[in-house]
Structures are given as structure tokens and as C-alpha cells.
């Protein structure tokens, strides 16, 4: 199975890259029968993505509390790809349909208390309000790996 | 007002396969009520202006024209055959009515000119007064301050008196001077000329990106042509006068191959201009959850991860 070998090798390149170049922890591959190829998930050393509306909620909460809120990293999905590949929108949709927003063992399993007050609204973004997002890890033959977010649905750009 | 808005039928003129709107009220209407900005294309052929200063007509994309026709807010007129047929079949009464209409427009134009002129004159006179007032001694100031207030309405009198005179002048005095007094006009639309029923063309056959366009428009997004960012559309969260674009959007087929290099380059370019690269496709298997006739739209947004 040449294609299978290729995909396994690709996954290993990306796995090593996030683990050793980007210092991710708890990195694992994730296979599922309805996934076209295995995904990777892991915990980055610092937070990789903050939704612009979440940022607003955090700033509001920080103002009410009068102290900064530490942003813990979240588990993220990674999809290994090679630059020479071409994917169809249907394939991306199939991957998004197969996964949950939060990788296994993520924040949703822990119980986050008290969403009622406005100062805790930001916490929702780590749980029910988190949209599906995947890091596209595109590998080039020279071992360069580029990382791009792909979001499911209309997600406004960050204010970077 | 809402009733007239609901009943409004925008005339989209199909000229040489392009969809044009010539009526400024229609342009305002589709922008306010249908989120369609389209593109101003008009200029004077002998003295072309920069793109920034282009005027009427507005040119619509085929998908914008189709959206308006589908919503029954517009019809598409075959301008060439319509003008030819209506001009050749015109009888004396419609001709007379049209000439009368043009004359009325010229009178309105003259009124507007006169008012503008009077305003400028009033401004200059006011300045001159203020200057002379400053020269006067402090003792005469109290008397002088009352005088301009009393005079200021009379400064604005000329336009109203000429406005009243303009009517009788055309009828009572000799016809030649009154004809010369009215300015020549170039009507921007031929709505008064085309009084009869217009042959309506079928809705345009839109580009394959119509379903993505419709999806974005129905969610309140405005679009402008996206070539400057290398996509089909630049997508704004509201009127482009008020917002920066959020996305550069590209439409694909459900099973159309997208090279990863395209995703990376578009994502990179989008992030560099503080936008997100959006691509979408219509699912052939799932029905539209909004109840539309097509399939469900799936859209994805790509941005640089910063690692």
C-alpha cells in the first residue's frame, strides 16, 4: 500500500515537526473509519488561536476582575498534507463532519464552572462556543512545514 | 414609503451582454435594500477620469442581476430592441408628453442653478458686509448688527422671486429669450421616453459562483470584485463605506481540486491584508438548510496560524 505508506510518513513528518520544532506536548495520531487519513492532535506550548469575539469577552472579564486572565493553551487538531496534493471542498467537509470541535481529552470534558455571569463568558469559547478548526500542516519536499488555520463556516479574521 | 420600496422594480438594462443600472434612485435602492454595491462605470469618453471618480451607470455582475430578478425586485430590459421599437412606434401625444417632461426637467435645472448662484452671491455679500462691519467703529456696531439680520432674508429672496417669475416668463414674454434662458440638459435615464411595456429578458445565466454569492448576500455581506486580492469577491460585513473587507472569497465545485499551494498563497495573502481566505462549495447531497433550491453551502476560512 504505497499511498498508505505515504500518508503514514507524512503524518510522522508533521508529528515530529510539532513535537520537536514547535514544542507541542501530548501529541497523538487519531484514526477514525470515516476520516480519509489520520489526524494529529496535541497541546501547543502557548495558545494558538483566540477568536476576535472571545478576545472581546476576555477584555471585558479582565476589566471587571481588574486582573489579567492567563490564557492556557488548548488541544488542537492537525491535518497533515503534502504541497503537491489537491483537495476538494467535499473532502474538507468530510473531515470536519467526522471530528468534534475539541480533540479527545480536551477542555469540554473538564467541568468549567459558572457561565452565567458576564465575567465568565469568555470560558464558553473553550467549550460549547468553540468552532471547528484544524491546522493545515502542509509539508514541502525540503521538509518545510507551513501551518494555516482552516475554520468550518464563516469565521471572521483575527485582528492581527 | 415601505410600500413603494416593496413595489419598486429596478430596470436593469442589458446592453451588449452587460447589466447596467442608469437610475440613481435604483442604485441607492439596491445598495440599501439588497446589499448590492456593484461597480460605477460611467465616464466621459473624451475625458476619461480615474476609476475613483466614475459615475453612472452602475454595472452589475450576472449573479447580482440574477439575485435581483429572483427576488422579483428587478427586470432585465433588452435596451437596444426596446429603444428601437418604442421610438419607431411613438405617436404625437407620447412625443408631446416627452417634450414637456424634458422642458420641466430643464426648468428644474434652471431653478437649481439659480438657487446655487444666489447662495454664492449671498455668501460673498455676507463676507463683504462682515469686512465693512469690522472697519466700522465700535459706536456704530449696535446699529449695524441689527441691519444684517434684517437684510439677510432679502439676500435669499432673489432665487424665490426668480423661481416664481420663471414660470410666467416662459409663457408670457417672447419665446426666444425664455428658450435661451433654460439650460440644456442630458437626461441620465430614458424612463420618460420608454412609457410602453418593455420586453423582459430572461434572468441572466450567472457564473458558477452564484450560490456562494447568494449565501453571502443573504447573510448581510456586501461584495465587491475580488481581483485585487486574487479572488472572486472581496466580502465586507456591511457597506464598504463603513467597513474593511473580512474575506477574500473563491467559489469552487464540490469535487473541484484545489491545489494546496493555492490555499497557502491565498491564506498568506489574506492574512497580510488582515483578511481571511474564504472558499465555498455547494453540496450536491445535502439540501439547503435555509430552504433554498440549491444544496447546502459549505464554506471554510483559511488564515495563517502564526507558527
**Which residues of B are less than 8 Å from A136 in CB distance?**
260, 263, 302
* Residue among B221, B222, B236, B247 flagged as catalytic: B236
Per-residue confidence (pLDDT) for residue B155, from 0 to 100: 44
In three-state form (DSSP H/G/I as H, E/B as E, the rest C), the secondary structure along chain B is CHHHHHHCCEEEEEECCEEEECCHHHHHHHHHHHCCCCEEEECECCECCCHHHCEEEEEECHHHHHHHHHCCCEEEEEHHHHHHHHHHCCCHHHHHHHHHHHHHHHHHHHHHHHHHHHHHHHHHHHHHHHHHHHHCCHHHHHHHHHHHHHHHHHHCHHHHHHHHHHHHHHHCCCHHHHHHHCCCCCCCCCCCCCCCCCCEECCCCCCCCHHHHHHHHHCCCEEEECHHHCCCEEEECCCCCCCCCCEEEEECCCCCCEEHHHHHHHHHHHHHCCCEEEEEEEEEEEECCCCCCCEEEEEEEEEECCC
The partner residue sitting opposite B303, judged by closest CB among A87, A146, A157, is A157
**Which residues of B are less than 8 Å from A86 in CB distance?**
257-260
Q: Could you tell me which of A39, A43, A44 has the C-alpha nearest to residue A79?
A: A39
Is the separation of the CB atoms in B208 and B251 below 8 Å?
yes
* Residue among B117, B179, B244, B286 flagged as catalytic: B244
* Interchain CB distance below 8 Å, B275 and A88: no
Residue from A154, A158, A159, A160 whose CB has the most chain B CBs within 10 Å, to mutate = A154
Task: Categorize the per-residue pLDDT at B160 as very low, low, confident or very high, splitting at 50, 70 and 90.
Answer: very low
Task: Categorize the per-residue pLDDT at B258 as very low, low, confident or very high, splitting at 50, 70 and 90.
Answer: very high
Could you give the dihedral angle defined by the CA atoms of residues A53, A131, B248 and A142, in that order, rounded to the nearest 10 degrees? 120
Could you tell me the residue ranges of all domains in chain A?
2-151
The partner residue sitting opposite B302, judged by closest CB among A88, A148, A153, is A148
Tell me whether residue B252 is one of the annotated catalytic residues. no
Flag the least confident range among A63-67, B2-6, B25-29, B161-165.
B161-165
Could you give the dihedral angle defined by the CA atoms of residues B168, B174, B175 and B181, in that order, rounded to the nearest 10 degrees? -70
Stated pTM of the model: 0.77
Between CA B126 and CA B123 the distance in angstroms is: 5
Tell me whether residue B286 is one of the annotated catalytic residues. no
The partner residue sitting opposite A154, judged by closest CB among B253, B299, B305, is B299
User: What number does CATH give the domain A2-151?
Assistant: 3.40.1350.10
* Interchain CB distance below 8 Å, A148 and B264: yes
pLDDT in tens, B43-86: 887 777 777 788 888 999 888 998 998 888 888 888 888 888 88
Between CA A96 and CA A42 the distance in angstroms is: 17
Residue from A22, A23, A81, A89 whose CB has the most chain B CBs within 10 Å, to mutate = A89
Q: Tell me the angle at which helices B157-171 and B92-135 cross, rounded to the nearest 10 degrees.
A: 150
* B291 has pLDDT over 80: no
**Which residues of A are less than 8 Å from B257 in CB distance?**
86-88
* Interchain CB distance below 8 Å, A160 and B274: yes
Tell me whether residue B213 is one of the annotated catalytic residues. no
ipTM of the complex: 0.88
Q: State whether residue A153 sits within 8 Å of chain B by CB.
A: yes
Task: Give CA B175 to chain center in angstroms.
Answer: 37
All domains of chain B in start order, with CATH:
1-90+193-206 (3.40.1170.20), 108-142+158-188 (no CATH), 207-307 (3.40.1350.10)
Residue-wise pLDDT tens for chain A (160 aa)? Answer: 556 788 999 999 999 999 999 999 999 999 988 888 999 999 999 999 999 998 888 888 888 888 888 888 999 999 999 999 999 999 999 999 999 888 887 765 455 555 566 667 788 888 888 889 999 999 999 989 999 999 999 999 987 6
Q: Could you tell me which of B7, B65, B31, B26 has the C-alpha nearest to residue B240?
A: B31
* Interchain CB distance below 8 Å, B257 and A150: no
Q: State whether residue A87 sits within 8 Å of chain B by CB.
A: yes
Nearest C-alpha of chain A: how many angstroms from B258?
5
* Interchain CB distance below 8 Å, B300 and A148: no
**Which residues of B are less than 8 Å from A87 in CB distance?**
257-258, 260, 263
Amino acid at each position: 500500500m504505497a499511498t498508505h505508506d505515504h500518508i503514514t510518513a507524512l503524518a510522522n513528518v508533521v508529528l515530529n515537526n510539532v513535537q520537536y520544532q514547535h514544542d507541542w506536548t501530548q501529541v497523538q495520531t487519531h484514526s477514525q473509519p470515516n476520516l480519509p487519513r489520520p489526524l494529529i492532535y496535541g497541546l501547543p506550548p502557548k495558545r494558538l488561536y483566540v477568536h476576535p469575539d472571545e478576545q472581546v469577552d476576555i477584555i471585558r472579564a479582565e476589566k471587571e476582575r481588574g486582573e489579567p486572565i492567563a490564557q492556557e493553551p488548548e488541544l488542537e487538531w492537525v491535518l497533515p498534507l503534502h504541497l503537491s496534493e489537491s483537495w476538494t471542498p467535499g473532502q474538507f467537509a468530510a473531515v470536519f463532519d467526522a471530528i468534534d470541535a475539541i480533540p479527545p481529552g480536551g477542555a469540554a470534558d473538564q467541568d468549567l464552572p459558572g457561565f452565567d455571569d458576564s465575567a465568565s463568558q469568555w470560558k464558553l469559547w473553550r467549550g460549547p462556543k468553540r468552532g471547528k478548526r484544524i491546522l493545515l500542516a502542509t509539508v514541502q519536499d525540503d521538509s518545510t512545514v507551513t501551518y494555516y488555520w482552516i475554520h468550518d463556516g464563516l469565521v471572521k479574521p483575527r485582528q492581527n | 414609503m415601505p410600500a413603494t420600496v416593496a413595489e419598486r422594480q429596478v430596470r436593469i438594462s442589458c446592453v451588449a451582454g452587460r447589466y447596467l443600472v442608469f437610475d440613481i434612485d435604483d442604485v441607492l435602492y439596491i445598495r440599501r435594500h439588497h446589499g448590492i454595491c456593484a461597480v460605477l462605470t460611467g465616464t466621459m469618453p473624451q475625458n476619461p477620469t480615474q476609476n475613483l471618480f466614475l459615475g453612472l451607470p452602475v454595472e452589475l455582475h450576472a449573479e447580482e442581476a440574477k439575485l435581483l430578478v429572483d427576488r422579483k425586485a428587478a427586470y432585465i430590459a433588452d435596451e437596444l430592441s426596446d429603444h428601437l421599437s418604442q421610438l419607431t412606434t411613438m405617436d404625437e401625444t407620447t412625443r408631446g408628453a416627452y417634450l414637456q417632461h424634458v422642458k420641466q426637467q430643464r426648468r428644474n435645472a434652471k431653478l437649481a442653478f439659480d438657487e446655487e448662484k444666489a447662495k454664492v452671491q449671498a455668501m460673498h455679500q455676507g463676507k463683504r458686509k462682515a469686512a465693512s462691519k469690522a472697519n466700522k467703529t465700535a459706536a456704530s456696531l449696535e446699529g449695524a448688527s441689527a441691519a444684517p439680520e434684517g437684510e439677510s432674508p432679502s439676500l435669499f429672496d432673489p432665487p424665490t422671486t426668480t423661481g416664481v417669475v420663471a414660470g410666467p416668463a416662459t409663457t408670457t414674454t417672447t419665446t426666444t429669450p425664455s428658450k435661451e434662458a433654460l439650460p440644456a440638459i442630458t437626461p441620465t435615464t430614458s424612463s420618460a421616453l420608454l412609457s410602453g411595456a418593455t420586453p423582459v429578458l430572461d434572468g441572466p445565466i450567472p457564473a458558477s459562483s452564484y450560490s456562494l454569492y447568494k449565501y453571502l448576500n443573504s447573510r448581510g455581506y456586501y461584495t465587491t470584485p475580488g481581483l485585487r486580492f486574487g479572488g472572486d469577491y472581496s466580502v465586507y460585513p456591511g457597506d464598504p463605506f463603513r467597513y474593511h473587507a473580512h474575506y477574500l472569497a473563491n467559489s469552487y465545485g464540490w469535487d473541484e481540486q484545489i491545489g494546496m499551494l493555492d490555499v497557502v498563497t491565498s491564506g498568506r495573502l489574506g492574512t497580510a491584508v488582515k483578511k481571511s481566505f474564504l472558499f465555498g462549495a455547494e453540496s450536491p447531497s445535502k439540501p439547503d438548510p435555509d430552504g433554498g433550491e440549491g444544496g447546502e453551502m459549505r464554506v471554510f476560512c483559511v488564515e495563517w496560524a502564526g507558527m
